[in-house]
Protein backbone atom coordinates (compact mmCIF):
# COMPACT_ATOMS: atom_id res chain seq x y z
CA UNK A 1 0.00 0.00 0.00
CA UNK A 2 1.22 3.48 -0.92
CA UNK A 3 0.64 5.76 2.06
CA UNK A 4 0.41 9.50 1.42
CA UNK A 5 1.24 11.73 4.36
CA UNK A 6 -1.33 14.49 4.62
CA UNK A 7 -0.03 17.96 5.36
CA UNK A 8 -1.34 21.50 5.82
CA UNK A 9 2.06 22.79 4.70
CA UNK A 10 2.46 22.85 0.88
CA UNK A 11 6.06 23.99 1.33
CA UNK A 12 6.88 20.44 2.38
CA UNK A 13 6.60 19.48 -1.29
CA UNK A 14 9.74 21.47 -1.95
CA UNK A 15 11.53 21.12 1.38
CA UNK A 16 11.19 17.39 1.87
CA UNK A 17 14.94 16.88 1.59
CA UNK A 18 15.56 17.77 5.22
CA UNK A 19 17.36 15.19 7.28
CA UNK A 20 14.21 13.85 8.98
CA UNK A 21 12.54 12.95 5.68
CA UNK A 22 12.94 9.78 3.66
CA UNK A 23 12.92 11.46 0.24
CA UNK A 24 10.75 9.55 -2.25
CA UNK A 25 9.58 7.15 0.42
CA UNK A 26 7.21 9.81 1.80
CA UNK A 27 4.64 10.87 -0.82
CA UNK A 28 2.46 13.76 0.32
CA UNK A 29 -1.26 14.49 0.14
CA UNK A 30 -2.07 18.20 -0.24
CA UNK A 31 -5.38 20.02 -0.56
CA UNK A 32 -6.16 22.33 -3.46
CA UNK A 33 -7.39 24.82 -0.86
CA UNK A 34 -3.85 25.13 0.51
CA UNK A 35 -2.36 25.79 -2.93
CA UNK A 36 -4.91 27.79 -4.89
CA UNK A 37 -4.01 31.26 -3.59
CA UNK A 38 -0.23 30.85 -3.73
CA UNK A 39 1.40 33.31 -6.10
CA UNK A 40 4.64 31.38 -6.23
CA UNK A 41 4.92 27.61 -6.45
CA UNK A 42 8.17 25.68 -6.22
CA UNK A 43 9.13 22.37 -7.84
CA UNK A 44 8.35 19.32 -5.73
CA UNK A 45 11.12 17.09 -4.45
CA UNK A 46 8.67 14.29 -3.66
CA UNK A 47 5.70 12.67 -5.39
CA UNK A 48 2.27 13.79 -4.23
CA UNK A 49 -1.47 13.58 -4.83
CA UNK A 50 -4.05 16.37 -4.78
CA UNK A 51 -7.21 16.51 -2.71
CA UNK A 52 -9.88 18.77 -4.19
CA UNK A 53 -10.89 20.18 -0.79
CA UNK A 54 -14.48 19.17 -1.41
CA UNK A 55 -15.45 18.49 2.18
CA UNK A 56 -14.47 22.01 3.21
CA UNK A 57 -16.09 23.68 0.21
CA UNK A 58 -19.38 21.82 0.53
CA UNK A 59 -19.40 22.39 4.29
CA UNK A 60 -18.92 26.12 3.79
CA UNK A 61 -21.26 26.75 0.87
CA UNK A 62 -23.48 23.70 0.42
CA UNK A 63 -22.28 23.49 -3.18
CA UNK A 64 -19.16 23.79 -5.30
CA UNK A 65 -18.35 27.46 -5.93
CA UNK A 66 -15.12 26.58 -7.76
CA UNK A 67 -16.02 25.82 -11.35
CA UNK A 68 -14.58 22.78 -13.15
CA UNK A 69 -12.82 25.15 -15.56
CA UNK A 70 -11.13 27.02 -12.72
CA UNK A 71 -10.19 23.80 -10.95
CA UNK A 72 -8.70 22.33 -14.11
CA UNK A 73 -6.74 25.56 -14.64
CA UNK A 74 -5.27 25.30 -11.15
CA UNK A 75 -4.36 21.64 -11.50
CA UNK A 76 -2.59 22.35 -14.78
CA UNK A 77 -0.59 25.03 -13.00
CA UNK A 78 0.35 22.53 -10.28
CA UNK A 79 1.51 20.07 -12.92
CA UNK A 80 3.56 22.70 -14.73
CA UNK A 81 5.06 24.57 -11.78
CA UNK A 82 5.21 21.97 -8.98
CA UNK A 83 5.42 18.74 -10.96
CA UNK A 84 5.53 15.16 -9.68
CA UNK A 85 1.73 15.10 -9.28
CA UNK A 86 0.65 11.46 -9.37
CA UNK A 87 -3.10 12.05 -9.46
CA UNK A 88 -5.79 14.62 -8.69
CA UNK A 89 -9.16 13.99 -7.09
CA UNK A 90 -12.21 15.37 -8.90
CA UNK A 91 -14.69 17.78 -7.34
CA UNK A 92 -16.64 14.99 -5.73
CA UNK A 93 -19.72 15.26 -3.52
CA UNK A 94 -19.48 13.47 -0.15
CA UNK A 95 -22.50 11.50 1.04
CA UNK A 96 -22.36 11.69 4.83
CA UNK A 97 -25.79 12.62 6.28
CA UNK A 98 -24.39 15.93 7.57
CA UNK A 99 -23.29 16.78 4.03
CA UNK A 100 -26.67 15.86 2.53
CA UNK A 101 -28.25 18.19 5.08
CA UNK A 102 -25.91 20.96 3.89
CA UNK A 103 -26.73 20.54 0.20
CA UNK A 104 -30.38 19.48 0.48
CA UNK A 105 -29.73 16.77 -2.10
CA UNK A 106 -29.87 12.99 -2.08
CA UNK A 107 -27.13 10.38 -2.26
CA UNK A 108 -28.12 9.73 -5.87
CA UNK A 109 -27.74 13.42 -6.72
CA UNK A 110 -24.29 13.54 -5.11
CA UNK A 111 -23.23 10.43 -6.98
CA UNK A 112 -24.43 11.78 -10.33
CA UNK A 113 -22.65 15.10 -9.78
CA UNK A 114 -19.43 13.32 -8.80
CA UNK A 115 -19.49 11.26 -11.98
CA UNK A 116 -20.47 14.22 -14.16
CA UNK A 117 -17.60 16.25 -12.74
CA UNK A 118 -15.03 13.58 -13.56
CA UNK A 119 -16.31 13.39 -17.14
CA UNK A 120 -16.22 17.18 -17.48
CA UNK A 121 -12.70 17.45 -16.07
CA UNK A 122 -11.47 14.74 -18.43
CA UNK A 123 -13.08 16.61 -21.30
CA UNK A 124 -11.55 19.94 -20.25
CA UNK A 125 -8.08 18.55 -19.57
CA UNK A 126 -7.73 14.97 -20.80
CA UNK A 127 -3.98 14.94 -20.19
CA UNK A 128 -4.24 15.62 -16.46
CA UNK A 129 -4.29 12.65 -14.04
CA UNK A 130 -7.91 12.77 -12.84
CA UNK A 131 -9.11 9.76 -10.89
CA UNK A 132 -12.67 8.55 -10.31
CA UNK A 133 -14.18 8.54 -6.83
CA UNK A 134 -16.91 6.21 -5.61
CA UNK A 135 -19.39 7.91 -3.31
CA UNK A 136 -22.26 6.55 -1.25
CA UNK A 137 -23.39 5.72 2.25
CA UNK A 138 -24.86 2.21 2.24
CA UNK A 139 -22.97 -0.61 0.47
CA UNK A 140 -25.59 -0.76 -2.29
CA UNK A 141 -25.00 2.94 -2.97
CA UNK A 142 -21.38 2.22 -3.90
CA UNK A 143 -22.42 -0.71 -6.09
CA UNK A 144 -24.88 1.50 -7.96
CA UNK A 145 -22.27 4.20 -8.37
CA UNK A 146 -19.80 1.68 -9.79
CA UNK A 147 -22.50 0.58 -12.25
CA UNK A 148 -23.10 4.22 -13.24
CA UNK A 149 -19.40 4.65 -14.04
CA UNK A 150 -19.53 1.52 -16.19
CA UNK A 151 -22.59 2.81 -18.04
CA UNK A 152 -20.77 6.10 -18.67
CA UNK A 153 -17.85 4.25 -20.25
CA UNK A 154 -15.49 4.45 -17.27
CA UNK A 155 -14.03 1.02 -16.54
CA UNK A 156 -12.99 1.28 -12.91
CA UNK A 157 -10.92 -1.90 -13.15
CA UNK A 158 -8.52 -0.23 -15.57
CA UNK A 159 -8.06 2.96 -13.53
CA UNK A 160 -4.71 3.36 -11.73
CA UNK A 161 -6.61 4.30 -8.58
CA UNK A 162 -10.25 4.71 -7.54
CA UNK A 163 -11.03 6.89 -4.54
CA UNK A 164 -13.40 5.55 -1.90
CA UNK A 165 -15.32 8.46 -0.42
CA UNK A 166 -17.43 9.09 2.67
CA UNK A 167 -15.87 6.31 4.74
CA UNK A 168 -13.22 8.09 6.85
CA UNK A 169 -15.44 8.39 9.94
CA UNK A 170 -16.48 4.71 9.83
CA UNK A 171 -13.44 3.12 8.26
CA UNK A 172 -12.93 0.51 10.98
CA UNK A 173 -16.50 -0.84 10.82
CA UNK A 174 -17.39 -4.28 9.54
CA UNK A 175 -19.57 -2.78 6.79
CA UNK A 176 -16.71 -0.74 5.35
CA UNK A 177 -14.31 -3.68 5.70
CA UNK A 178 -16.71 -5.89 3.69
CA UNK A 179 -17.20 -3.15 1.07
CA UNK A 180 -13.46 -2.65 0.60
CA UNK A 181 -12.93 -6.40 0.31
CA UNK A 182 -15.70 -6.69 -2.28
CA UNK A 183 -14.47 -3.81 -4.43
CA UNK A 184 -10.86 -4.96 -4.24
CA UNK A 185 -11.88 -8.48 -5.24
CA UNK A 186 -13.65 -6.96 -8.26
CA UNK A 187 -10.32 -5.55 -9.42
CA UNK A 188 -10.48 -1.95 -8.19
CA UNK A 189 -7.26 -0.35 -6.98
CA UNK A 190 -8.77 1.63 -4.13
CA UNK A 191 -7.52 4.76 -2.42
CA UNK A 192 -8.82 5.23 1.12
CA UNK A 193 -9.37 8.91 1.89
CA UNK A 194 -8.50 9.88 5.44
CA UNK A 195 -7.84 6.37 6.72
CA UNK A 196 -6.54 6.13 10.26
CA UNK A 197 -4.77 3.43 12.24
CA UNK A 198 -7.74 1.18 13.06
CA UNK A 199 -9.06 1.24 9.51
CA UNK A 200 -5.66 0.57 7.98
CA UNK A 201 -5.04 -2.34 10.32
CA UNK A 202 -8.24 -3.95 9.07
CA UNK A 203 -8.15 -3.20 5.35
CA UNK A 204 -4.78 -1.67 4.55
CA UNK A 205 -3.67 -4.81 2.74
CA UNK A 206 -6.70 -4.45 0.42
CA UNK A 207 -5.98 -0.83 -0.54
CA UNK A 208 -3.68 0.36 -3.29
CA UNK A 209 -3.13 3.58 -1.36
CA UNK A 210 -4.42 5.74 1.48
CA UNK A 211 -3.78 9.12 3.08
CA UNK A 212 -4.10 10.59 6.54
CA UNK A 213 -3.65 13.85 8.43
CA UNK A 214 -4.43 12.22 11.77
CA UNK A 215 -0.84 12.76 12.93
CA UNK A 216 -1.43 16.52 13.17
CA UNK A 217 -4.41 16.23 15.52
CA UNK A 218 -2.50 13.72 17.63
CA UNK A 219 0.44 16.11 17.87
CA UNK A 220 -1.69 19.11 18.84
CA UNK A 221 -3.02 17.24 21.86
CA UNK A 222 0.40 16.75 23.44
CA UNK A 223 3.52 18.79 24.17
CA UNK A 224 6.25 19.01 21.57
CA UNK A 225 8.71 16.15 21.36
CA UNK A 226 11.87 16.62 23.41
CA UNK A 227 13.98 17.38 20.35
CA UNK A 228 11.44 20.00 19.24
CA UNK A 229 10.80 21.59 22.64
CA UNK A 230 12.72 24.77 21.86
CA UNK A 231 11.18 25.11 18.39
CA UNK A 232 7.40 24.96 19.04
CA UNK A 233 4.79 24.24 21.72
CA UNK A 234 3.36 21.25 19.88
CA UNK A 235 4.27 19.28 16.77
CA UNK A 236 1.02 19.81 14.83
CA UNK A 237 3.00 21.14 11.86
CA UNK A 238 6.27 19.34 12.51
CA UNK A 239 7.77 17.25 9.70
CA UNK A 240 9.90 15.29 12.17
CA UNK A 241 6.80 14.20 14.14
CA UNK A 242 4.80 13.55 10.95
CA UNK A 243 7.32 11.26 9.31
CA UNK A 244 8.01 9.43 12.56
CA UNK A 245 4.26 8.87 13.01
CA UNK A 246 3.97 7.60 9.46
CA UNK A 247 6.84 5.17 9.90
CA UNK A 248 5.45 3.82 13.16
CA UNK A 249 1.99 3.43 11.63
CA UNK A 250 3.26 1.46 8.66
CA UNK A 251 5.41 -0.71 10.92
CA UNK A 252 2.32 -1.55 12.99
CA UNK A 253 0.22 -2.81 10.10
CA UNK A 254 -0.33 -6.53 9.74
CA UNK A 255 1.29 -7.89 6.57
CA UNK A 256 -1.20 -9.16 3.97
CA UNK A 257 -2.05 -12.84 4.34
CA UNK A 258 0.23 -15.17 2.42
CA UNK A 259 -1.34 -17.07 -0.49
CA UNK A 260 -2.46 -20.54 0.41
CA UNK A 261 -0.15 -23.33 -0.69
CA UNK A 262 -3.23 -25.23 -1.77
CA UNK A 263 -4.76 -22.46 -3.86
CA UNK A 264 -5.70 -23.55 -7.35
Please, are residues 85 and 48 in contact by the beta-carbon 8 Å criterion?
yes
pLDDT average per 10 residues of sequence, the chain (264 residues): 93 72 74 96 95 97 98 98 98 97 98 98 98 97 98 98 92 88 98 90 94 74 65 69 86 69 46
| Separation CA 78–CA 76 (nearest Å) | 5
Radius of gyration of the chain (CA): 19
Domains of the chain: 2-212 (3.20.20.70)
| Nearest residue to 114 (alpha-carbon basis) of 139, 87, 89, 150 | 89
Helix (H, G, I), strand (E, B) or coil at 3: strand
Q: Please, what sign has the CA dihedral across residues 249, 251, 252, 257? A: positive
Whether pTM exceeds 0.75? yes
| Nearest residue to 47 (alpha-carbon basis) of 26, 21, 18 | 26
Amino acid sequence: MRFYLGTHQPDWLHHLNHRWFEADQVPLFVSHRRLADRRTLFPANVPWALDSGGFTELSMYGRWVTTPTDYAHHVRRYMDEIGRLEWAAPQDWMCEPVMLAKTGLTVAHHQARTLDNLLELRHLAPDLPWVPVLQGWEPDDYRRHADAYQSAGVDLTTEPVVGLGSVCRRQSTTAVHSLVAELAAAGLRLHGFGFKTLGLRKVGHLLASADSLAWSLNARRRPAMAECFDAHEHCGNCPRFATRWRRQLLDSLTPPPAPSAYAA
